[in-house]
A and B are shown apart, each in its own frame.
Chain A
Amino acid sequence: MADEIRNIVKRVQLAYTVLFCMVFFIIGFIIYVQYVDPPEKESGISVKSEKIEARRGSILSEDGRPLAMSIPYYQIRMDCMAPNKDTFANNVGALARELSELFGDKSVQTYRNELLKYRKEGKRYQILGNRTVDYSELERIKRFPILKYGANRGGLIVEEKSKRNNPYGRLAYRTIGYINTLGVGVGIEESYDYYLKGKAGNQMIQKIVGGEWIPVNMHEVTEPEDGMDVRTTIDIEIQEAAEDAIRNQLSRSDVFEGATAMVMEVKSGAIRAIVNMKKMKNGTFDESFNYAIGQPSEPGSTFKLVTLISLLEDGHVTLESPIDVGNGRWQYSTHTYVDVGRGLGLIDVKEAFAKSSNVAFTKMAVQYYGNNEKAFVDRIINMKVTDKLNLDIKANGITRMLYPGETGWNKLTLPSMAIGYAIDITPLHTLTFYNAVANDGVMMKPYFIQSLEKDGKVVEYFDPTIITGSICSKSTIKEAKRALRYMVERGNKAYNDPRYQIAGKTGTARILLENGRYSDSEGYRRHQASFAGFFPADNPKYSAIVVMYTGKTKANFYGGAWAMPAFKEIADRIYATRFEWKEPVDGSRTSPSDNPVICGGNVKAERMALSMLRMSDKPVLPDDGWVKFVSDSTSVKCITIETEDGHVPDVSGMGLKDALFLLENEGYKVRFSGYGKVVSQNPEAGCELKRKSTVNIVLEPDIEKKNRNEKK
């Protein structure tokens, strides 16, 4: 009995000893690994402070599309010593080939030689490539030879950097602006930097066994505050239209140095487009200089509207008052004022305005304000023409105007001002004034920023502001509008559009040169051709201004010939999308047909279209999928389209958008010609066809619809 007990005890002792030794060694090993000989020998850092970057806010167009957004870009570096000898030697050629193909800056051989050199020189943090890469390129690089083994065995080092991306390219670039790391910049990026940049956060992280970093103490984390999004008033379509029109005009002559265009919404003062083009050293034009707001200059004939309104408001003339311009030349004091073209003789004020007669306006200015110059200047001030604009994009249009009695004021100052010289204002000032006329005398403050938003919610909304409730009496406004409409109707017949009416004024001015005169010793001059106006004339919705600046030239550049075409182009493009400007067509007396021709398409869209049609017997749609319709003389039948993998679906009768979507979704490439509905497809519906093969479709406009329209 005692022996048995002793055996049991001995066995238990043995078991215990073995287990105890195991535990002893495990604990000993842990202590060894943790403190005596840690595996990560390179970095002695085990706890560090990590800055959590705040996401910079985006700058949005008025409908929320981003004009500027921050996108992560990655700097690719390589630890050339990390891969082992064999891996490196066997794959360096393949890696060089991939790098050369991706970056395209060096040949395969050059890359190969460089990689070998880096390895020999022991480079552990070497930049690869000539630029940062975006996310899809990064994913490609992660699969490259050698680098695909990761950071430790392949040597791939990726540094994330945030880069500002303008998805629409250079559209409105000068206004959107940019800012560098020192906080120096231009445009909205700079003036709204405080709202855009947010606040970086901070947390302590520590490295645990295995190389992973984890936050240390959850209580000490300061969360980052992402920046706010700035929603502007810019309408992308109108901005594009304005830029296209300006670029078209600029390409018509080598003499142009720059141009600007702005479109303002009459009722609110919101700036829907702002284009600034300046000629660069290589001869192309780019958004680089703020002509619109930063360049005050003598406006020229567009200022005649101010003079006209002043004369009308003071009751000195009406549009029908006669004025004799004689032979188009008028000497006053030391200067001779000249009209373009031959003398118009005896005309009325309306005609003088339409023909932009310098003689008429200088004569009237001297006649009615000659012995009370203050009255004229005070009118200008009261109508806020020269006021500082205090814009929300933190730009101030500067104006310069002399006051009677000030040094520099002489007898010629008054008549010169009447025709837009001896006074400096920016194009935005002119536009603001024309907008006030379009808005029945209510002068709206131009603004660029609609709201500040965070995560889609509006944090602060900016309402339109009124600068002054009425610049002059309502009757004067009526007459001014009449004159502006007459100017386009009579003065520039080519731009009379039967579909909608433009009212406005051309402007031609000589630009003051550095020598203080308007022409240099060889007779070269610089010009400023402009057009300011609004449309539609009977119920103005938008006002706009176009100003083109030339370099030195001996030719003449008139606003009517150079600025007005651009204005018309912008107005046309805006008009083409404004279906609400026209009265709707009355369709109430037509009887709905019971067998309309319906395009094929996706059930979801068809369901919505069918709900709007008035038919007595509507076809029944399946729950989902694609359908096409066959109509006979009395009714419409719905046929489900089979989409079988590897077979071409039937797209006949569909519009281009639906046919493209369905075919490309099935994996086919599409070639199309014509427009309208699909009338034929090749290969035929139901044929077997491999993915990525091409399907050709031909479209034609619906003949039956055309015939029906012709009958009406």
Chain B
Amino acid sequence: MKEKDNGSHTASSIIGDIFGGNILEREFITKNWKFILYCSFLVIFYISYNFAYNAELIENRKTEQEIKNLNADYSSKYAKLLYKSKRNEIEIMLQKKGSEIKAPKDPAKRIKLE
């Protein structure tokens, strides 16, 4: 067993204690190890909680961006569809397909049953 002459006050002995593990022998540690363990558990919990929160924020932003993209996709396709559904465009398309279908000149008739 190592005998420390002047306790653990010199620099080299403190570093040696920390690296060598002798620090664990100190009264401060042995008496309060439960608390130290509790603190380290808190630290771990805090770090992982923070990390999970950041990850969720990133996920949110990614989802928002995806929604924006889907919206953009929808809007541009919708605008194109609206243009194609213009009566003139449909008439042009029907002509191209060689169809004889024309727009009606008379309104539909309503039939009263009762």
Interface positions of A (Cβ within 8 A of B)? 12-13, 16-17, 20-21, 65-66, 69-72, 134-136, 139, 165, 167-169, 171, 208, 212-215, 237, 240, 244, 499, 572, 575-582, 584-588, 614, 656, 671-675
Contact = CB atoms under 8 A, between A and B. Distances in A.
A648 to B, nearest CB: 20
A672 B99 contact: yes
A66 B82 contact: yes
Interface stretch (B3-11, B14-22, B30-38): B14-22
Given A169-B86, A587-B111, A576 B106 contact: yes
B83 interface: yes
B82 A168 contact: yes
Contacts of B68: 72
Given A69-B75, A134-B72, 10 more contacts: A66-B82, A167-B80, A169-B86, A215-B61, A240-B87, A588-B113, A588-B114, A673-B98, A674-B100, A675-B99
A579 B109 contact: yes
Nearest to A584: B110
B98 A584 contact: no
A13 B1 CA distance: 13
B77 interface: yes
B31 to A, nearest CB: 19
B27 interface: no
B69 interface: yes
A656 B86 CA distance: 19
Given A65-B82, A167-B82, A237-B87, A585 B57 contact: no
Contacts of A171: 86
A16 B61 contact: no
A587 B54 contact: no
A17 B86 contact: no
B52 interface: no
B58 to A, nearest CB: 5
Contacts of B114: 588
Interface size class of B (residues with CB under 8 A): 35 or more
B58 A214 contact: yes
Contact of A16 (B21, B77, B83): B21
B97 A671 contact: yes
Contact of A584 (B20, B73, B111): B111
A-B complex: 6 closest residue pairs judged by Cβ atoms: A167-B82, A16-B21, A584-B110, A587-B111, A72-B72, A167-B79
B105 interface: yes
Nearest to A243: B88
24 contacts: A13-B22, A20-B18, A21-B19, A65-B82, A69-B79, A136-B73, A136-B76, A139-B73, A212-B58, A214-B54, A214-B57, A215-B57, A237-B87, A240-B87, A572-B105, A576-B106, A580-B110, A584-B110, A584-B111, A585-B111, A588-B112, A588-B114, A672-B97, A672-B99
A656 B99 CA distance: 11
Contact of A582 (B58, B69, B79, B109): B109
B46 to A, nearest CB: 15
Contacts of A586: 111-112
B71 to A, nearest CB: 8
B103 A208 contact: no
Contacts of B54: 208, 214
B110 to A, nearest CB: 4
Nearest to A55: B71
Nearest to B78: A167
A360 to B, nearest CB: 37
Contacts of B21: 12-13, 16-17, 20
A579 B87 contact: no
A587 B113 contact: yes
Contact of B72 (A135, A208, A214, A572): A135
A317 B78 CA distance: 59
B108 A579 contact: yes
Nearest to B21: A16
B106 A584 contact: no
B64 to A, nearest CB: 10
A406 B19 CA distance: 109
Contacts of B103: 576
Contacts of A674: 99-100
B42 interface: no
B107 A575 contact: yes
Interface string B25-54: 000000000000000000000000000001
Nearest to A9: B21
> Which of B22, B76, B80 gathers most chain A CB within 10 Å?
B76
Nearest to A580: B110
Nearest to A133: B76
Contacts of B61: 212-215
Contact of B79 (A165, A499, A579, A581): A165
A13 B111 contact: no
B72 to A, nearest CB: 4
Nearest to B107: A579
A70 B73 CA distance: 12
B83 A169 contact: yes
A135 B86 contact: no
Contacts of B97: 671-672
Nearest to B114: A588
Given A16-B24, A65-B82, A208-B54, A675 B101 contact: yes
Nearest to A163: B76
B104 A244 contact: no
A576 B58 CA distance: 56
B76 A71 contact: yes
Contacts of A673: 98-100
